[in-house]
Structure 1
Amino acid sequence: MKRFFRYIFSCVLLLTSIGLYCTNRLMYMKKKEDQFIFNREKEAGRFNPTSFEALNKQDISIPSPFGYLLKTIIVEPYETNRYIIISHGVTENKTNSIKYMNLFLKRGFNVVIYDHRRHGESGGKTTSFGHYEKYDLKAVVDWVYENKGRNITLGIHGESMGAATMILYAGMLEDRADFYIADCPFSDFSEEVSYLIRSEMKLPAKMILPIADIFLRMREHYSIREVSPITVIDKITKPMLFIHSEKDDFILPEMTQKLFEKKKGSKKLFFAVNGVHAQSYNENKEAYEKAIDDFLQEYMPVKEI
């Protein structure tokens, strides 16, 4: 009998260790240091601190519905009603969004960049890969409309987790923006986690994922299976441009292909030839900008100021 109880205890201990390890990897995914991102973007020529400081901009702290502040910068060099929000990827911060900010500034947009929860200067203790982040994005969208007027033309550009967050926001909460640009999103988080468990941890995903999901439900009150852009993409009616690198081996390009195929209504798809994950713009600048221009020319609504 003692041997039986020792066996049961060992099994419980093993399952608990697996559950805690996996959920810690998700909830507290190692972020890049802010200074590292700053130096990387500056050295690559994608961020000029002097030019950035000279812009007409304002620092804003937007309250999250979860009790922390979202550190946000609104850049407004133009008297225009064209705005775009940039939603960065996991482990990054709003400095990584500056290259996209510059892209849209050149096209006459005012731009809003912000830090996701637990990233950069924003509050929040855990990362949820879009589950809670979608409500924060809604708070940013609400702020823009409330402060810049209901008659603005608003776009949202998301990269990686930021793109998944954008799709979850538009598909689950409100399809309120006028257009969306999804750069390398995952289509389903459970599929993405399973892929990473197999490819990086070399463990059987079918065994590990249910354990991680149980512990995530207990610790963070949501399921991995709830973070699924593919299940809500067909609810988005506004135009969407999908972007992915053909060589991405972190979030596979087939995920974007699936999202594109299920999206109803106006849509475009651009697969970048060069670069791995979240490098489509960095490695294919001219082709990326052409894809943006073609999409905006065809689908961006024109509203009078």
Structure 2
Amino acid sequence: MMWVGVLILVLLAFLAFSAFVAYKMITPPRLVGDWTPKDIGFDYEEVTFETEDGLRLSGWWVDNRSDKTVLPLHGYTASRWERLYMRPTIEFLLREGYNVLAFDFRAHGKSGGRYTTVGDRELLDLRAAVNWLRKNHPQSAEKIGLVGFSMGGIVTIRALAEVGEICCGVADSPPMYIDRTGARGLRYFAKLPEWLYHFVKPFIKLFSGGKEVHPIEYSDRVRKPLLLIAGENDPLVKVEEVKKFYERNKRINPSVELWVTDAPHVRTLKFHPEEWKGKVREFLGKWMG
């Protein structure tokens, strides 16, 4: 019967490893940088606000003397300091004349929270930001738009369906099936087999208390202007998945657009900066006035 004992030990070790992987996935390293909007020529204010579940979030408020504000939403493992897409997006939006409220999602950057839920409770974070804006700068909240990347794209899509104050949104590289993207992420980032995600997922839910959010399920709910950006070389989000959302959503939403590029995940702004800016400029200008 020794083999039974060995088998039990192997099983326990496998479960322990799965739990470890889950813990690492929901506690991303915190990215805190050394640049601020002042470095790109804009005065700013350090702000904090509290979510309805009691977390204190940290961000920047840049008042550009407009009645229109755009919130750039970062992706998983990033923060407002992220240089690949957040810094150029913040600079772009400010030079276009919008106010900017940039903040760190829970468990990222300088915000509170121990665990990320990758699009579930992050909607509470966005609600808190919008409430802070409307309370403290109502004159700047006549129109509120979003530009979200990856996880931020998930929140953007959800917000268009669930947050009344949001008028339009750009979702760059938004996962449509969080379990599929999570499994691909194991292979892409950790060189682990995708099938391991099926064993990791229960521990993710147990530790974080969050639920899986599949934006594809919102394709029948979003009726506000939405620009989807997808990359053919994205190892985490398949173009076909974003196209499926688009095809379903356009049946009820004449204001949805899809732009497919040849870029990897959240890299369209890097590889095609002028085209990205042109598309987003036209979209925001049309729907925010």
Unaligned 5+ segments in structure 1 are none
What corresponds to 1:105 in structure 2?
A: 94
With normalisation by structure 1, the TM-score equals 0.82
Q: CA deviation at 1:48?
A: 7.5
What corresponds to 1:241 in structure 2?
A: 227
Distance 1:10 1:233, change over 3 A: same
What is the aligned counterpart of 2:112 among 115, 123, 131?
123
> What are the superposed Cα offsets for residues 89-127 of structure 1, whole Å, 9 maximum, x if unpaired?
122211232311221222221111111112221111122
1:219 equivalenced with 2:224 (yes/no): no
Partner of 1:71: helix, strand, or coil?
A: strand
1:19 equivalenced with 2:18 (yes/no): yes
Q: Say whether the 8 Å CA contact 2:80–2:104 is kept in structure 1.
A: yes
Percent identity over the alignment is: 21
In the alignment, residue 74 of structure 1 is paired with which amino acid?
W
Q: CA deviation at 1:178?
A: 0.5
What corresponds to 1:139 in structure 2?
A: 128
Once residues 194 and 236 of structure 2 are traced to their aligned partners in structure 1, the CA distance between those partners, rounded to angstroms, is 18
With normalisation by structure 2, the TM-score equals 0.86
Once residues 66 and 192 of structure 1 are traced to their aligned partners in structure 2, the CA distance between those partners, rounded to angstroms, is 27
Q: CA deviation at 1:175?
A: 4.3
Once residues 156 and 234 of structure 1 are traced to their aligned partners in structure 2, the CA distance between those partners, rounded to angstroms, is 20
What corresponds to 2:197 in structure 1?
A: 209
1:64 equivalenced with 2:63 (yes/no): no
Partner of 1:235: helix, strand, or coil?
A: coil
> What are the superposed Cα offsets for residues 247-303 of structure 1, whole Å, 9 maximum, x if unpaired?
222333333222222323111112234x422121122111112211332344x154x
In the alignment, residue 191 of structure 2 is paired with which amino acid?
M
In the alignment, residue 125 of structure 1 is paired with which amino acid?
R
What corresponds to 1:158 in structure 2?
A: 148
| Two-structure CA RMSD over aligned residues (Å) | 2.5
Q: CA deviation at 1:3?
A: 5.3
In the alignment, residue 152 of structure 1 is paired with which amino acid?
E
In the alignment, residue 60 of structure 2 is paired with which amino acid?
I
The answer to which of 182-191 and 67-76 deviates more is: 67-76
Unaligned 5+ segments in structure 2 are none
Q: Say whether the 8 Å CA contact 1:85–1:157 is kept in structure 2.
A: yes
Q: Say whether the 8 Å CA contact 2:146–2:168 is kept in structure 1.
A: yes
Q: Say whether the 8 Å CA contact 1:167–1:232 is kept in structure 2.
A: yes
Once residues 175 and 237 of structure 1 are traced to their aligned partners in structure 2, the CA distance between those partners, rounded to angstroms, is 11
Q: Say whether the 8 Å CA contact 1:87–1:158 is kept in structure 2.
A: yes
What corresponds to 1:34 in structure 2?
A: 32
What corresponds to 1:82 in structure 2?
A: 68
Partner of 2:171: helix, strand, or coil?
A: strand
